[in-house]
Amino acid sequence: MNQVYEKLMRCYASVREKVDFKPRVALVLGSGLGNYGEQIKISQVLDYHEIEGFPVSTVPGHKGRFLFGYVDDVPVVAMQGRVHYYEGYPMTDVVLPIRLMKLLGAGILFLTNAAGGVNPEFSAGDFMLIKDQIASFVPSPLIGANLEELGPRFCDMSEVYDKDLQEIIRKTAKELGIPLQEGVYIQLTGPNFETPAEVKMCRTLGADAVGMSTACEGIAANHMGMKICGISCISNLACGLTDQPLSHQEVQETADRVAPLFEKLVTASIVNMAKGE
C-alpha cells in the first residue's frame, strides 16, 4: 500500500479505537482561537500524542489535540493546534489531520488562521473572509502517487472556498455587526516573516493576506471533495506596510484581543451552516 495512505489509515484506526464520534464540521483553530474549546460542549478530547504516527506541533502557544463535541447542536471536531510546513514535516504529514477529519465524517472544513495584512486597506484586528488562495510557493500536498481512494489526480480548483458557505459567513457577520474584509490568502513557507519586497510581490500577485498555513490544507480538503470556508484574523499589517518590526508576540496579542469576536463569528456561522444543509 502507498505509505502516505497507509499512515493515514493507521491514524484513522487509532482514532476510531478511542472515539466513535461522527463530526459534521471540521474546524482548524488558528492563533486567536486557542481557547475556542470553551464554546464547544465537549464529548471527548484526544491528544495528538495518543494517535499512532500523528504529526505533533512544536509552535509555542499551539496546543495539540482534537476536541470532539457540539457547537450549539452541530457535531464538530476541532483541531487545537496544527502542524506547519516550516516545522520540517513533509506536506503529506501537514495535511494528514485534514484528511483524517474527512474520514471521520466531516463534510465541511472551517479553516482559521492569523495572517499579515497585505492589502493596505486592512487594519490589525480585522477579519478577512477567504475567497481564494495562492499556494504556489509551497509544494502541493498532492505531489506523489495519487491516492485514488481520496480524490482525482488532477483536481479542479475553481471554487476551493464554497460560495454558499462564504455567503453564510457574510450574512452572519452582518447580523452580528462584525465588519468583515474579503480577499485572497497566500501561503509562504515561513518561518521567517516576509521582507518588504516579498510583501510587495504578494500584493502584485493579488493577495490580500499572507500566512504560513491553510492553503495546503485547502488543497487536500478540496481533493477529497470537502466544502471549505475560511477566515483570517489580520493580526498585523505585513512587513513594510508599517515601520514597526514584526514579532510573534504582536501576532499573538492582536489575535488574543479580537478572540471573543472571532469566536462569536465562528460559532454563529457554524450554526447557520447547519441550518442551511
List the beta bridge partners of residue 209: 117, 185
Q: Is 15 helix (H, G, I), strand (E, B) or coil?
A: helix
Q: Which of 276, 185, 163 is nearest to 233 (CA)?
A: 185
Cis-peptide into 139, omega within 30 deg: no
In this chain, which of 19, 210, 221, 261 binds ligand HPA, going by CB under 6 A?
210
77: contact with ligand HPA by CB under 6 A:
no
Q: Which of 241, 242, 195, 190 is nearest to 211 (CA)?
A: 190
Return the half-sphere exposure (C-beta side, CA atoms, 13 A cut-off) of residue 193.
22
236: contact with ligand HPA by CB under 6 A:
yes
Does the annotation count 192 as an active-site position? no
The pattern of x and - marking residues 165 through 204 that bind ligand HPA according to CB under 6 A reads: ----------------------------xx----------
The pattern of x and - marking residues 107 through 146 that bind ligand HPA according to CB under 6 A reads: -------xxx------------------------------
Our separate counts of H helices and E strands in the chain read: 8, 9
Least distance in angstroms from the C-beta of 277 to ligand HPA: 32
Does the annotation count 31 as an active-site position? yes
Number of residues binding to ligand HPA, judged by CB under 6 A: 13
What is the rounded CA–CA span in Å between residue 1 and residue 189? 30
Residues that bind ligand HPA (CB under 6 A): 114-116, 193-194, 210-212, 235-236, 238, 246, 251
Catalytic residues: 31, 62, 84, 86-87, 114, 212-213, 236, 248
